[in-house]
Amino acid sequence: MFSRILVANRGEIALRIIRSCKELGVETVAVCSKADENALYLQYADAHICIGPGEAEESYLNIPSIVSAAEIADIEAIHPGYGFLAEDSHFAEVCESSNIVFIGPSSEVMTKMGDKIQARRLAAENKIPVIPGSDSTVENQQQALKIAHEVGYPVLIKASFGGGGRGMRVAHNDISLVNSLAVAQREAEAAFKDSSIYIEKYIEHSRHIEVQIVADNYGNVIHLGERDCTIQRRHQKLLEQAPSPTVSDQLREDICKAALKIAKAVNYTNVGTVEFLVDEEGKHYFIEMNTRLQVEHPVTEMITGMDLVKEQIRIAHGERLNLRQKKVKSEGVAIECRINAEDPNNSFRPYAGKITMCSVPGGRGVRVDSHIYTGYEVPPYYDSLLSKLIVHQKSREDAIACMRRALNEYRIEGVKTTIPLHLKIIMDPRFITGDVHTDFVENFIDEKEQ
Ligand code: MV4
């Protein structure tokens, strides 16, 4: 096993990674920005190095700073967590050429999947259903109009390097398509330094279902079932569940098979997630692949009993998968609520400030992945995730009751959080029956505000 690794992230995920390392007997070196010098995760690491000022561009996204820290700390591998550099193929390449193991897939696979148009084409070539649309970059109005007329309105313009719904635009007719095209290209150029866009038919009332896969360096690939991430707001996931309350055994078999097929087709290694949209008829379509550990990985851990971070580290170290597909279990139901420091009554603005009081829920079947504590100052520079509250119970009914109990126990004072929103969601009859799709939360919030 590695003797020491660098954790190139912050907050709850840095802590999450350090915890697994402790259990594996791997020493950790954490990194921090000036704004995180009092952070809790630093106290759990064996050592830490300050890599720059609060602004992420100059610290957690600063490749030379992180690589220097790695050299000073004399580590063998880097765990990137999620966000920041986790899906940066250039960073993975720099690690590879500096003889540092990047705990994730190869830079080659990351480059392939980072380009959503290429990922879409790869899926289609492997006979995996994709949403009707363009099979290469849409360069001009004529091409855009031609595709829109082929697939029919409404259509969705997506940025090839966007992912996670960032930079998406719906068009309902020729005029809005032509207008949105130029805007979408400019936005993509500004946000991702690449203006490539593609067009898909807009699937209304869809659900977001993703499959967790794990692959070693010897061609063994398994899936760990699906997660349902349909409850989103402005392309930010709010609540995730495993298994999905609306996926039939047949659909599960089909999407898991499709996920394995695409992972094998690209020689995928380490952990990854294949995302699908499921339409109202229950048909599934590949949308993209995420080449990182995801925020919502704990729901899969709870139902399978596995530790995905340990799997990542073992695989990166060159170990073989010690589990066959048939031995993967799925027990009960897990639900995760993302607790963000933001005000749902104030356009969901992120909320920086001091947490004056924090008291964490516990008890049977409750897991809290969080870096906050009483007296913690939420810095203004990063995303607003404070905590992930995860419950695991035998049935969905019990999981919902447990989540309700745990949300009511959670006390966070000093900053406003999404806890009240989560309570509303899990008590909504449509959530309880599982009858939710794309715009559930958006509609739901509108209703409550009227
Ligand atoms: C779509 C879509 C409708 N049609 N693509 C992609 C990334 C994810 N964050 C949202 N994405 C969507 N892609 C086509 N062709 C609708 C969404 C979507 C969505 C999907 C499932 C559940 C919630 C959603 C919320 C907003 C947008």
Per-residue pLDDT tens for 388-415? 999 999 999 999 999 999 999 999 999 9
Ligand 1, atom 11, residue with closest C-alpha:
165
4-103, CATH topology level: Rossmann fold (3.40.50)
The pLDDT of 58-64, averaged and rounded, is 98
The Cα 256–Cα 253 span in angstroms is: 5
Q: How far is the centre of ligand 1, averaged over its atoms, from the C-alpha of 167 (Å)?
A: 12
| Alpha carbon of 282 to ligand 1 centroid (Å) | 15
AA letter at 49: I
> Which pLDDT band holds residue 166 (cuts at 50, 70, 90)?
confident
230-278 pLDDT tens trace: 999 888 999 999 999 999 999 999 999 999 999 999 999 999 999 999 9
CA of 158 to the centre of ligand 1 (A): 10
**This prediction's pTM:** 0.97
Mean pLDDT value of segment 93-115: 97
Nearest to 103 by CA among 322, 334, 229, 271: 271
Domain with CATH 3.30.1490.20 in the chain: 132-201
Average pLDDT for 177-185 = 93
Q: Which atom of ligand 1 is nearest to the CA of 202?
A: 4
Q: Which atom of ligand 1 is nearest to the CA of 200?
A: 15
How much of the chain, in percent, has pLDDT values that exceed 90?
Answer: 90
Rounded to an integer, what distance in angstroms lies between the CA atom of residue 293 and that of residue 272?
7
Assigned CATH for 207-449: 3.30.470.20
Q: Are 239 and 441 in contact (CB under 8 A)?
A: no
* Ligand 1 atom having least distance to the Cα of 230: 22
Give the pLDDT of residue 146.
Answer: 98
Closest residue by CA, ligand 1 atom 18: 438
Which residues, at least 6 apart from 403, have a Cβ–Cβ distance to it below 8 Å? Answer: 335, 337, 389, 391, 422, 426
Average pLDDT over residues 18-36: 98
- For the chain, the average pLDDT equals 95
- Please say if the pLDDT value at position 444 is more than 90: no
For the segment 306-325, the average pLDDT, to the nearest whole number, is 97
Q: What is the mean predicted confidence (pLDDT) over 373-396?
A: 96
Encoded tokens for 163: 């992912």
Q: Is the pLDDT of residue 435 over 90?
A: no
Alpha carbons 438 and 447: distance in angstroms, whole number: 16
The residue-averaged pLDDT of 111-125 equals: 97
Q: Which atom of ligand 1 is nearest to the CA of 131?
A: 15
pLDDT for res 350: 73
Residues with CB under 6 A from ligand 1: 131, 156, 164-165, 200-203, 206-208, 230, 232, 235, 277, 287, 438
Rounded CA-CA distance 36/382 in Å is 10
Q: Which of 138, 241, 438 to mutate to test ligand 1, by most ligand atoms within 8 A of the CB atom?
A: 438
Report the separation in Å between the CA atom of 32 and the middle of ligand 1, taken as the mean of its atom positions. 34
Give the tokens for residue 388. 């992930």
Catalytic residue among 10, 233, 292, 314: 292
Measuring CA to CA, how many Å separate 7 from each of 70, 71, 149, 337, 354? Answer: 9, 13, 49, 24, 25
CA 258 to CA 136: how far, in whole Å? 22
How much distance in Å is there from the Cα of 375 to the middle of ligand 1? 38
Average pLDDT over residues 106-113: 98
Q: Which atom of ligand 1 sits closest to the CA of residue 133?
A: 15
Q: What is the pLDDT of residue 449?
A: 46
Question: Which CATH architecture describes the domain 132-201?
Answer: 2-Layer Sandwich (3.30)
Average pLDDT over residues 79-96: 98
- Residue 447 is predicted with a pLDDT of 58
Q: Is residue 450 over pLDDT 50?
A: no
Tell me the pLDDT band of 441, cut-offs 50, 70 and 90.
confident
- CATH 3.40.50.20 residue window(s) in the chain: 4-103
**For a pocket test of ligand 1, which of 153, 169, 208, 278 has the largest count of ligand atoms closer than 8 A to its C-beta?**
208
Q: Is the pLDDT of residue 446 over 90?
A: no
Average pLDDT over residues 323-343: 95
Q: Where in the chain is the domain with CATH 3.30.470.20?
A: 207-449
292 given a catalytic annotation: yes
β-bridge partners, 369: 388
Ligand 1 nearest atom to the CA of residue 208, by list position = 21
> Which residue's CA is the closest to the ligand 1 atom numbered 6?
165
Rounded to the nearest angstrom, the distance between the alpha carbon of 169 and the centre of ligand 1 is 11
Choose the residue to mutate in 131, 235, 278 for probing ligand 1, maximizing ligand atoms within 8 Å of C-beta: 235
Distance 438 CA to ligand 1 centre (A): 6
Please name which of 393, 416, 272, 415 lies closest in space to residue 336, comparing C-alpha atoms. Answer: 393
